[in-house]
Structure 1
């Protein structure tokens, strides 16, 4: 931790990042790797057991995401804990259609990787410790913002006192209920899906063979992600009104419930890990930017966890912003908060952001809608994805995180 002594004013910082979760930390690392000095304000102390986003979820990292993490030096600290996803199977309970995506068919060694969020958090912390141009304030919190002609003046509360920090570019990476977003006056559309997500590990009777499953049902999607030691990460969605009853189940009752929701494709489930409930809602900022300020990750958009797009989308936010700030700096423009940089960021992120939001919301509405008349159409659509190469290729490419104009860091390296 690099924490300057308290004072009434501590000069200017080129980039001030508020929020030290998965996306904020990734942005700080990417800027440091590009030679850009920044200050990172982290609400929790720099320990994986205190950072709320470094929790027990199992993240499905798209191929593009792993490329990006590798490019900024994070993946070397996480790869030994990751499990490759070589196949994806998509189906709906009680309907005949299904779609399959195979890595070999698309000429790659893996479509993505599964990694516990806590392991990614640990890797980010190790990589943050290697940064040489980064100032970290932790634990610390933003308490006030004041606009200035050339940026923002931020009041940062730390255990040693309150600091006043000026910045040319303010970045809100502080999550779904972003304080930065509210202080900037950026409105957000919210949608309560009235669903609760349960995550835990589970051990199936049969080997997963590096296959991930997404199974839709009237009550919401169920996903099974391959993990090490034959385990799987279970992601199970239930109507919100059932959440208390599911929380109250003992292990045997929960396994029976999960088995009923997923089916017997991998045999009998056993050994459930500790489960954690999360209320599901979508939050979409109406603008990604304000004068000399920008939103990334969940502060910009929180999407339904169907398809596991949240962190993958947020990392592409962070890497795109770092790329544009670095390009501006290397062109001789020392001011990262100029309007051109922010306009380019919003333009670059729009197709990926809008497409991902539409996909996640549309899947929930269409694939989980309890209307029997839709069943044949859904099945035919899945069969088309499975058997029409252009559709399958497009779905695979988007699933691997290559949508719109991705940041250069996520592109496949040349041989």
Structure 2
């Protein structure tokens, strides 16, 4: 057998490992900022090949859509997105609810719902427009060697092994990040013992752009507005019940969804294909290393409650690209420390919120019921709390990247 070909070393200012939603967004943002980068992805550049371009319906916060628009992605996706004009949060069996209305906060939408596969397609179209980006796909990072000025990566491609020297290594390679492991960064893990099922349903009543999040002892359930009066269903069940739910026929599955969600939109019908996802929390103990940084799920994988995962990861990517745009050395220690400090409040706050909501809102403790109800009522009726809830729900947390801020005409 012939040995695989080995190519000469090439140089890249930034090497991004992982071409999922966050990695691709970072690559596009860097290209828009005039920064040369190399993107390594394990699958071919097709929406049906990339695991993160899947059947989930993403609730994209307003700040996220601003950011996607700023880097030229949103024009490829806007026609397939559905605006979220109202959000309704409640707890099964308890009084009170929190409602956020876009008009009350002087915006046309709080966010938009978009299938992950559609966002993936938009990212691929925008990647095709990049002029400073080198894309290696399908390709696999095999080795990393530290250098005084960065990293030397050994990358297996269909044509042989390529070696790329980079001043900055970016791990955007998901929850089980190879880059994180190679950097020796530990991660805290928590198994929620829950499985999330995503599907679509048709409600009897028009959703009117309203998104619902409903908590219960067995976990949260959400309905997200989609086109043609459809809704994206997010149904969380205890892990021990996952196999039984996966094998239910449509009649029994829709009955379970109805029982868990209630009747605010009337009878639910016509369930689409369902897809299960085991839910874990993975938090890297640090997000930077020597000339290296972790973004997206490689840095933090959070409970999908509140749909904050990609929204948080995109803010990682846009903050990093913003700092790199004015840097002479993309891997400089001061720059990376500045990045970590700037992302700390948003990252820690979002992780704490998602974890705390699961622990408190879904905890089967009757004595907590009145306190939870009062908290919902306060968020609904106390103006400062309402404004804070709306601002965070729209993705404006901590010191956000400039790309996500509202731009005046």
Range into which the TM-score falls when normalised by the shorter chain = over 0.9
Q: In the alignment, which residue of structure 2 is the partner of 1:402? A: 396
Deviation at 1:377, TM superposition (A): 0.5
Shift of 1:7: 3.6
Is 1:100 the counterpart of 2:103? The answer is no
Asked if 1:312 is matched to 2:297, the reply is no
Q: How do 1:9-408 and structure 2 match up within 5 A?
A: 9-328=8-327, 333=328, 335-408=329-402
State the alpha-carbon separation in 1 of the partners of residues 84 and 270 from structure 2: 22
TM-score if structure 2 supplies the norm length?
0.98
What is the SS of the residue equivalent to 1:229?
A: helix
- In the TM superposition, what is the alpha-carbon distance from 1:11 to its structure 2 partner? 2.3
The CA distance in 2 between the partners of 1:281 and 1:9, in whole Å, is 41
| Deviations 1:298-336 (CA, angstroms, capped at 9, x unpaired) | 0000000000000000000000000000021xxxx2x20
* TM-score (normalised: structure 1): 0.97
Distance 1:28 1:104, change over 3 A: same
Does the residue aligned with 1:59 lie in a helix, a strand or coil?
strand
* Offset at residue 341 of structure 1 (A): 1.2
- The alpha-carbon deviation at position 9 of structure 1 amounts to 2.6
Task: Kindly indicate whether the alpha-carbon contact (under 8 Å) linking 2:199 and 2:233 is maintained by their aligned counterparts in 1.
Answer: yes
Q: Give me the whole-angstrom Cα distance separating, in 1, the residues matched to 2:163 and 2:46.
A: 25
CA positional deviation for 1:12: 1.4
C-alpha distance in 2, partners of 1:353/1:327?
Answer: 23
1:297 CA displacement: 0.1
Residue 6 of structure 1, CA deviation: 6.0
- Alignment partners' CA distance in 1, 2:244 and 2:6: 51
C-alpha distance in 2 between matches for 1:155 and 1:33: 27
Contact kept? 2:22, 2:317, Cα under 8 Å: yes
Distance in 1 of aligned mates of 2:6 and 2:29: 28
CA distance in 1, matches of 2:213, 2:313: 21
Secondary structure of 1:9's counterpart equals strand
Taking the aligned partners of 1:157 and 1:241, their CA distance within structure 2 comes to 39
- Structure 1 CA distance, aligned partners of 2:20 and 2:64? 16
Write the distance in 2 (CA, Å) between the matches of 1:263 and 1:112. Answer: 24
Q: Secondary structure at the match of 2:305?
A: coil
Do structure 1's residue 414 and structure 2's residue 408 form an aligned pair?
Answer: yes
Q: Which stretches of structure 1, 4 residues or more, deviate above 2 A after TM superposition? A: 5-11
SS of equivalent to 1:108: coil
Alpha-carbon distance change, 133 to 6 in structure 1, aligned in 2, over 3 angstroms: farther
Deviations 1:354-394 (A, max 9, x none): 00000000000010000000000000000000000000000
